[in-house]
Structure formats: C-alpha cells, structure tokens
Structure 1
Amino acid sequence: MFVRLLLVAGAIIAALVALFIPGSPEREPYVQGRNKTALFISNIEHGLSNVHVATASALLEGYPDIEVHFASFSQLRKKLARVSAFAQAKTPAAKDIIFHELHGQPFFEAVELLGGDLESTISPPGVAGVDRFTKGLQDWISPWGVEEHMVIYNEIGAIIDEIDPAVVVLDTMMRPALDSTRDKNRVHAFVTPNTLVDNFLGDQPYGSMFWKYPAMTSGFDFPVPWRNMLENIYLNIRFIHAAMLTPNLSAKKVALRARGVKDPINFLKMHRDDVPWITMNTEGASIPVDVVPTNVTCAGPILLSVAPASEQDPELAQWVGRAPTVIINLGSGFSYPLNYVRPMVGAIVEVLTKTNVQVLWKFNKHGEYSDEELAPLKPFIESGRLQMSNWLPVDVLSLLETGDVVASVHHGGSNCFHEAVSAGVPHVILPMWVDLYNFAALSETAGIGVWGCRDTSPTWTADGISSAIIKVVDGGEASISLREKSKSLGDKLKAGEKGRDISAREIAKLAYVK
C-alpha cells in the first residue's frame, strides 16, 4: 500500500509539473546553411567542452570534406590547434579547425563573479545539501549578467551569419549560444557529457522520477530504496520549484526579452523532439531508464585521446610503467584548501606504506598554508614512488590506457568517470557536490568503484580515503572483483565503436545538406 501511494503521488506531481510546463509550439522549419559546414560552440572548461572537442576531432578524421569551425573563449585555441595537428597525422586530408574567439567571461569565471567559489560549491548529499545548491541554481543555469549575455549572444549571432553553417553543435551550459542559435532558427544539435538520468527523468512513466530514480545530489542507490523514497520525492520537488521560480533568473529573463531575445534561458524546454541530442550514456555504467526519446543517441564515452602517453611524455609514461600506479586527479577545477590537503596527505602516506603501488597526484593549492603540510610526503618523493604536479603534461585518458594504472581517484565528474570506465580502471570517488554523489553511488552499484568517505562526505578523513584506495589495490577478494568488472566493461567498450566516432557521425548527417 505504501509503495502504491508513492506511485500515485509521483504520478500526480509529474502531471502537475506538466501543467506548468507548456508543450512545444509549432515552429518554422530550421534554417540549414552551407553544405559540409559545422560550427561547434562550447565553454572552455574540460568537463563541459571535452565532448565537443572529441567530436570535432573525430569529424576531422572521419569526414575531412566537412569544414569544422569552433567558437569559444581564447583558452581553448591551443588545444584545438593540437587536435587539428593530431587529426592531420592520422588523416592527411583533414583540415584545421577554424577557431572563432568569443569575448567576455568563461563559465566558471562568470560564476565566481556572482560570488561562487570552492567553499560555496561544496555541499553534502541529500536534504542537508539541497538548500545550498538550489539557492545558487541560477548561477549554474546561466551565470552571465544581462549585459555580458547579450555580448556573447550578439557575437555568436555574427559568427553564425558569417559562416552560415549547416549545423550548430551546442553545449547545454552555454546559454547565450543556445538563445542566439534558436533565435536564428538554425539547425542544431546538443552534445553533452551528461547521462540520460540527468536530462530525461521527466520523460519516465508513472512519475518514476520521484520514486525510482535517485534525485540529483541524493547519492541514493538505484532503484531508490523504500527508506529513501519520501526524501527523494522532496528533493525532486525542491529542484523543480527552484528551476521554475528562481526570482533573479526570472528578472534576467525579463531583461533579456526586452533586449530582443525571444525565449531566454528556457531551462525546462531545452530538449526538443526535432533536435538531435547526443549523450555519454553507457550501458553497464549508467542508470538504465525506461523511456529514451527517439532523437537521443547514447554514444557511450565521448573522449579525447590525441596520442599515446609514450608519445606525449615518454619520461612520465616510463615512470607509470615501473609499478602499479594510482592517479589522483580531482578534475580541472579543483584545488586543495588546507582542510582537504591534510587528509589527502595522510591517506597517501598510508597507501604508500601499506602497498607496493606508486602515486601520481595532480595537486593545486587553494589558499595560504605552509609547505610543511606536505612534509610527510618527502621520503616518497625522494624514493620516486610519488610524483606531484599542478598539471598533468599528458591526457589522463592516455595514462589510463597504458594498462599500468590500477585505480583512478577522482571527484565523480562525468568525464573523469567515463575515462576510467572506457579504460577499464576501477574508481575511487570522492564526491563533494550535486551530481557527483550519484556517480559515486553508481560506481558501487555497478561494482566498478568505491565511494570514498561515504559516511562523512563531503568531508574527508585520511582513513576514509586510504581504506577506499587500499580496497581497490590490495589484491584481496574485493579488489579482484572491482578489477575484473572494470576490465570486462572496458574491454566491451574497446571492442565496439568509439563514442566520439558515433557522435561525429550524427553531426555529419546534419552537416551534409540534403
């Protein structure tokens, strides 16, 4: 009876949500420009842009007759030049990606200008953290102010007019680009690092988004346990309320409409049934859904790997090959404040003392504290079992693909998660905000990873981190199971078509004008 009540409640809530979200209006046919021309528009942050860069790279290699343009901020220029050179080495007929620089603040810089920072982002899972996240939801939906939104909107409009592309490939988090593209009624598609449960829970039948699928930030297992169902319903209601009724976002929409933007920052109607949507959803490493919209392509991991690690940095590749290696890389945007560096240092000492592994740690300092905090690591650096760097000179995927990495310690971001999945490497996930908790829970459900410090997240303890890593690398029963399941999934993905090639093929279909 209790479950049936939840089913009915979920269905009623879903129906009410549908009443408040109007259906898609009839539209004029989209404008398709010059034959064999594609324009990518994305943010610069690795977690947001990597799927677009990977797709553009595969497009150069597999469809060299297509002219590829890329609009973004200046920080992406060198990476795209490198991608072009690699594609030309594989496919001599491939051309350069034509870069168009956008002005203004990149996504995370715009978030910081609104007062967002590391401390304000970190939040616990579930009800305890939902208030903090929903309060800042407008910053993540679109962090640019009205003036800056219009600058980027107009720049992109001018680029579209100049290039006249057959298809525009969009980043879901680049709202000025989406508004400009749709106001010009251009043929477009989305490529996203998110999975189906991140974007299409509202399409699932019987209101199951409320009672079956873990809400964002929840970290619940799938399907949601009975004991967590009411909390899951509450979390989803909070997100819907925040998305629809954020006052500052509503004021921004009014101001943008007054400037001529037709339907600005429409968060709840981003997906359209006539616009292709390409996602990294991966069978065996994603929560399965009952309904997949017909225009959605599940490509699996859409990843960029420009060259083997031995070519990118022979010295580092040789070091990684000396012993089983643990890579600690918490994403491009994370740096370590003192209260996080202390438990990590303690955990690394414990792991290196109790096992035969070596550790590669991507470390960036956040705030002011003495280098003495790192002193316990000195013996391991001197013995060559620990390397620290504020940036990795090679693509992480190329290191994972060497076969010498026995654990990937990361924050639970979609790119980090899918890189390890693709390479068949077990995870140790240390989530600290929003969707990261669900990837951590998913890794345990799939039997390919461990949620480190699960009982204390987002706070770390040295014991919580070290015990998670040791569980993966010590060769015990749990370690063997994690490695075997990870390798089996990775081998399956390697035997199939690469996600970036699937994504490129879908974009190529739109780039060829019929």
Structure 2
Amino acid sequence: MGIPYRIYTAATVLVALVAVFLASKSPATPESSFSPVQGKNGTVLFFVNTEYGLSNVHLATISGLLEKYPCTEIHVASFPRTAPKLQRLSALARRKSPDARDIYFHPLPGPEYIKAFSARLGVQGKSVHYLLHPPGMKGLSTLISRVQAAISPWEAEDHINIYTRAGEIIQDVDPSVVVLDTTLQPAIQAAWKSNRTHAYISPNALADNFAGDQPNWGFLWKYSRMGSDFPFPMPWRKIPENIIVTAGFIYSAFVRSDFRAIRKQLEAHGIQDPPRSSRLNRPWIAQYLPGASIPLDFIPPNVICAGPIVLDEVPAIEQDAELTAWLSRAPTVLINLGSLFTYKEEHAKTMALAIADMLAKTNVQVIWKMTKEGNYSDADVLPPVQEDIEKGRLRISEWLSANPVSLLETGNIVASIHHGGANCYNEAIAYETTPFALRAGVPQVIIPMWFDLYNYAQLVEDIGVGIYATRGTAPNWTAENLRKSFLKVVDGGQESLGMRKKAKELGELAQKEPGRLTAAREIARLAILGTQHGGLC
C-alpha cells in the first residue's frame, strides 16, 4: 500500500519548513556572555497585556511580591484598563501586610492586544466568533491565517509607539529586572534592546512553548500542535496528521509573508526580535505541575516550574455576600466560557437544554455566565430552564459578581465548565471543594473552540480530571453531547468519583506551595541580585 498522496506531499514540504524552523533556532548564547545593565536594586518592571487570559499570571505574581517581599519596588507598564486591577491588588495586599508598597503604573499607548488582533484580521466589534475553528487538519487553514497576527497583532505604527514608550519606561524606571508577557512583543523587543536582566512568565503549557526543543524531533511525532486535540501519548495513527498540522504551523509562523511590509517598517526603526535561543537562557516561569501537565522529555534548565499561578482574590463573601450564601445551599456547577466569548442564540438554546437536563437528574444548582450576542430575548432561549430559575436553582448573569477564583475558594463549586483557557484550567486544578464533596477536587468540562483550548480539552481526559464535551463536533455544540458530558462529571457515578479523586490529588499537590509565591520568589531573587545584603526581604 502506497503512502497517501496528501501525506507524502506534506512530508516533502515539511522537510523544507523544518530546515527554516531549525535555522531560526540559533545556538543559545552562554549566560556568562550576557552582561546586563545593573539597574536600581530591588526594582521590578512588569510589561503585561490587559486581557485576563494573558495577564492573570503576572497579576498573581505581583500579589505574591506585595505579600511576601515588601522590599521590592513594583512598576507595571500596561494598557489603561489594567490600572484598576492593580489598585485592587494593592488594597488586598495591605490587608495582609501593612508594609506592602504601592504599585507604580505606566500606561502604554495604542490598542490592547485583542482589539489589535481583531483589527489586523479585519474584524469589527466585540465578537470573537471569527476565531472559531475545528481541531486538527480541519481547522488548519484558519490556524495558518491567524498565527502571525497572534504572535504580534499591532500594525507598524502602533507597534513602534508601544516599543518606543516601553524603552522610555525602562530608561526612567531603571529596573534591576524586567518581567515580560510572552504576547507583548514590542515590550520584549524593547527589553532585549535595553540589555536588561529579564524574565518571562507564561500562562501557556510548556509543551506549546518548548515542543521544538524536544529531542528526537519530538515536535513532529510526540507532541500535539496548538489547535489539535490528539491524545498524549500520541497514537501512531495520528502522527501523519500531526505532521501536516505541524507543517502548517511552521509555515504560518516562519514563512508566511502576510506581514512582510510591517516587518520591514519595524526593521527600518531598528526593531528586531531577540533570537529564539533567548527562551533557553533567560528565566521562564511556567504553570507546569507534574501529573497535571503534558510531560516533556526535556525541560530547559532556565524553566521554573511553578505549578498553577493563580491570582489571590478578595473572598467571595466580600464581593457578593448574597451570592456566597446561595452557593452554600447545594453543590454548584460554574459555567464560564471566558471573558471574551458571547452567546449567539443557537449557543444559548443548546446550553439551556443541557442545563435543564442536568438539573432534572441531579441535586446540583448552576451559576451560568452568559453574555448575549445578537438581538434575541430570554423568551427565545430560556423556556427549558424557566422553572429552575424561579426555584432558585439556576442563576444567569452577564458578568460574575464575584470572580471565578473566589467562587472556587468557597469550596462549593463541584464542577467547572469552561472553554479550555489556561487560567480556567489551572484555577480548577489549584482548588478543592469542601462541604459537598468531602474534600474532592474540582472536575472540569471543557467546550473548546479555538487554538490551545483544544489541547486543554484533551489534557483533562488524558489525566483523568474532566471531559472534552464536544469531541467530534467542535467548535459546534449539541445539547446531547453537552448533557452527557455534564452528567458524567456530576452524577456521582464511578467515573465522576474517579475524576474528583484525581482532581483532589492534584489540588493537594498544587497547594503545597502556591504558584504565585514560587513565581514571586524567583522575581524577588532576580530583583535583589547584587544588593549589599544579598538576601530576600
């Protein structure tokens, strides 16, 4: 039997693409050859985006610094919407530690990441439905057309303005360490140009960041590419498809010339990317927890595996006392598909049908974050759950009056239904429920729709803490596959109990030292290197 033509063609193309990929991986420069500008001792400068999914790990690290290392002086450069979040962090930190300092905020110019990303792709408005794509080869064309914009979405003028302002902030603050968001490319370039000590904090899986550094060409046959839902270990039958998807990913990231004109404009201003090898010789703090993450054959020595880096929040009872009291009435399921997703009418109808069936067959109650997209009324979608709303077993709101972390901290959430974002995944891993599950963990149901959401959907099944709800239909839903997935997690059967047991084990492991404190300790260490006392405060 001959090799299928499309696989043979993809493999042939991949040879050329891999040559480009490997050529871009210049040898890591020995750390001893890097002589950074010293900067002001104990001073940390964070560059972060404002979107929750991108910035929460940085905000969590900042909260750890405020709480445990009051001698550090913290500066944050971000877009204006980040400022109120920092004020809340400072207020909470002072309650725990009267010595906590203020955070100095420096606004960045230009559009935020998601606005720039949408504009780059010619999309207007708040909807993110243009991101939706099926996993694997079926979604490859969408993935190829989106990757370069995801790496750095800003048009040349905005990119130059952010880069220039970032350089000015570095010069003014004179930090001893710069902490970078891996998706804020202009700031990464400015930090590299400034020759400052810098570190990365990433919400993403290590398998996404370092798959290309694995031995024996593991990125081709062992590790699923972003946007795929192949299990780990990868079955042999899936390897050809993974090779094709990998070829597309490499092409889109390193070869595709959509934004060549922008690159030329940046280069004309002296703006260049640091070498890829910089990922291997600068501190890289990751949400990697053994047993809860895809195991890698090679973890670079510069990587600090912190486990879930989860934001410390004001207790739920202080955010919404009435909601907190309601949570204590019965085991509660939290449905939250992230801060960006909005429900079209068919999505809302499908979810309502699945919730109605779950409530009819279990004793749980549900809090459902649901923001509409389009002109439809409650009467169009809510009849299946109207009785449950009236009985108080279902609450629906456009925005959660207490944030998800604080809801998990109450111990009353027995399942987290989400879209597969890295933060949602790690928040559920990091906490355990108490009253209703006898110290069981928080199982997850994931409804993925784009990019790495598929990787987390598969991961929860690989490690036994949840269900990939829409396998075979994603990014579309059916009431039947949602209903079955919800019940598997909350019906109290053997499968449900097994997921809770495994989630409990991982939650206990994650809580031995919260990831935000591990990250904070590493940043504090970098910030005071060279101080006279030489020790952590």
How does the TM-score come out when normalised to structure 1?
A: 0.94
| Deviation (angstroms), 1:13 | 7.6
Aligned-residue offset at 1:335: 0.9
Measure how far apart 1:340 and its partner are. 1.4
Shift of residue 273, structure 1, vs aligned partner: 2.9
1:94 match: 100
Shift of 1:70: 0.7
1:15 Cα deviation after fit? 6.4
Q: Distance in 2 between matches of 1:195 and 1:12?
A: 27
Residue in structure 1 matching 2:405, options 397, 408, 414: 397
CA separation of 1:16 and 1:170: change in aligned 2, threshold 3 A: closer
**Distance in structure 1 (CA, Å) of the matches to 2:20 and 2:165:** 39
Does residue 337 of structure 1 match 2:347? no
* C-alpha distance after superposition, 1:153-194 (max 9, x if no partner): 111111111110111100000011111111111111001101
Q: 2:430 aligns with which of 422, 425, 430?
A: 422
Q: How many angstroms apart in 2 are the aligned matches of 1:342 and 1:270? A: 48
SS in 2 for 1:419: helix
Aligned to 1:485: 502
Describe the SS at the equivalent of 1:79: helix
In structure 2, what is the Cα distance between the partners aligned to 1:498 and 1:338?
A: 40
Matched, 1:467 2:484: yes
Q: Against the structure 1 CA distance between its residues 214 and 28, is the aligned structure 2 distance closer, same or farther, given a 3 Å change threshold?
A: closer
Structure 2 partner of 1:353: 360
Quote the offset at 1:53 in angstroms: 0.4
* 1:299 and 2:338 aligned: no
Counterpart-to-counterpart distance in 1, 2:176 and 2:377: 55
Provide, for residues 116-152 of structure 1, a one-character-per-residue CA deviation record: whole Å limited to 9, x for no partner. 4523200000100011111121211111000001111
For residue 316 of structure 2, what is the aligned residue in structure 1?
A: 309
Task: Work out whether 1:476 is the aligned partner of 2:482.
Answer: no
- Name the residue aligned to 1:503: 519
User: For residues 15 and 443 of structure 2, what CA distance do their matches in structure 1 show?
Assistant: 37
Question: For the structure 1 residues 254 and 23, does the alpha-carbon distance in structure 2 shift closer, same or farther, using more than 3 Å as the test?
Answer: farther
**Conserved 8 A contact 2:335-2:367:** yes
Give the residue type in structure 2 aligned to 1:62: K
Q: Give the Cα separation in 2 of the matches to 1:434 and 1:225.
A: 21
Unaligned runs of 5+ in 1: none
Relative distance call for 1:13 and 1:241 in structure 2 (3 A) is: closer
* Structure 1 position 96, deviation (Å): 1.3
- 1:22 and 2:30 aligned: no
Tell me the CA shift for residue 88 of structure 1. 1.0
Counterpart AA for 2:146: G
Q: Following TM superposition, where does structure 1 have runs of at least 4 consecutive aligned residues deviating by more than 4 angstroms? A: 8-16, 24-28
Report the Cα offset of residue 11 of structure 1.
10
Distance 2:195 2:505 in 1: 44
1:42 aligned residue: 48
Contact kept in structure 1, 2:408 and 2:428, CA below 8 Å: yes
Cross-structure match for 2:394: 386
Is the 8 Å Cα contact of residues 34 and 513 (structure 1) preserved in structure 2? no
Distance 1:270 1:401, change over 3 A: farther
Question: 3-state DSSP class of the match of 1:344?
Answer: helix
Q: Alignment partner of 2:101: what SS?
A: coil
AA aligned opposite 2:521: R
d(CA) in 2 for partners of 1:296, 1:108:
27
The structural deviation recorded for 1:513 is 3.5
Q: Is the 8 A contact 2:17 2:251 kept in 1?
A: no
Per the alignment, residue 327 of structure 1 pairs with 334
1:74 aligns with 2:80: yes
Q: Distance in 1 between matches of 2:52 and 2:97?
A: 25
- Offset from partner CA, 1:26-74 (integer Å, 9 cap, x none): 8651212101100111000000000000001100111101100111111
| Greater alpha carbon shift after TM alignment, 374-383 vs 275-284 | 374-383
Letter of the 2:513 counterpart: E
Greater CA deviation, 174-183 or 374-383?
374-383
Shift of 1:221: 0.5
Secondary structure at 1:290 match in 2: coil
265, 288, 296: which is aligned to 1:289? 296
- The alignment of Structure 1 onto Structure 2 pairs a total of residues equal to 506
Measure the CA separation in 2 of the matches of 1:119 and 1:312: 31
**1:66-123 superposed Cα distances (whole Å, 9 cap, x missing partner):** 1001111111111110111111111111111111111210000111212245232000
Residues 208 and 225 in structure 2, CA contact (< 8 A), matched pair in contact too: no
1:262-318: CA deviation from partner (whole Å, max 9, x where unpaired):
x14x6x717433310000011111000010111010100001022222232221111
**CA RMSD for the aligned pairs?**
2.1
Of the three residues 273, 276, 290, the one matched with 1:269 is: 276
Amino acid at match of 1:507: I
AA at the equivalent of 1:454: R
Deviation larger for 211-220 or 197-206: 211-220
Check whether the contact 2:66–2:90 (CA below 8 A) recurs between aligned residues: yes
Quick check: 466-475 or 333-342, which moved more? 333-342
Aligned position for 2:437: none
Within 5 Å, give how 1:219-238 maps onto structure 2. Answer: 219-238=229-248
Is residue 37–residue 197 contact of structure 2 (8 Å, CA) maintained in 1? yes
One-letter amino acid matched to 2:164: N
Q: Which residue of 2 aligns with 1:512?
A: 528
* Structure-2 separation of matches of 1:21 and 1:69: 32
- Preserved contact between residue 171 and residue 192 of structure 1 (Cα < 8 Å): yes
Q: Give the fraction of aligned pairs with identical amino acids, expressed as a percent.
A: 46
Write the letter of the residue equivalent to 1:197.
A
The corresponding residue for 2:64 is 58
Tell me how far apart the structure 1 counterparts of residues 483 and 280 of structure 2 sit (CA, whole Å): 46
* Match of residue 181 from structure 1: 191
Structure 2 residue 175 is the aligned partner of structure 1 residue 169: no
> Which residue of structure 2 lines up, in the alignment, with residue 456 of structure 1?
473
1:433-489 per-residue CA deviation (whole Å, 9 max, x = no partner) reads 111111111100111000102121111011111111111101111111111111121
In the TM superposition, what is the alpha-carbon distance from 1:251 to its structure 2 partner?
A: 2.3
Cα pair 2:368 2:395 within 8 Å, conserved: yes
Name the counterpart of 1:112.
118
Pair 1:190-2:196 in alignment: no
Q: In the alignment, which of 363, 374, 378 is matched to residue 381 of structure 2?
A: 374
Q: Is 1:201–2:211 an aligned residue pair?
A: yes
Shift of 1:508: 0.7
Letter in 1 for 2:462: T
Alpha-carbon distance, 1:491 to partner? 1.8
**TM-score, normalised via structure 2 length:** 0.91
SS state of the match for residue 409, structure 1? strand
- For the 8 Å contact 2:205–2:293, the answer to whether it is kept is yes
Alignment check: 8 A CA contact 1:44 1:76 kept: yes
Specify the code of the residue in structure 1 equivalent to 2:375. E
- Report the CA distance shift for 1:454/1:314 in structure 2 as closer, same or farther (over 3 A): same
Look up the equivalent residue of 1:183 and give its one-letter code. K
Question: Given the superposition, is the C-alpha separation of residues 228 and 397 from structure 1 closer, same or farther in structure 2, using an over 3 Å criterion?
Answer: same
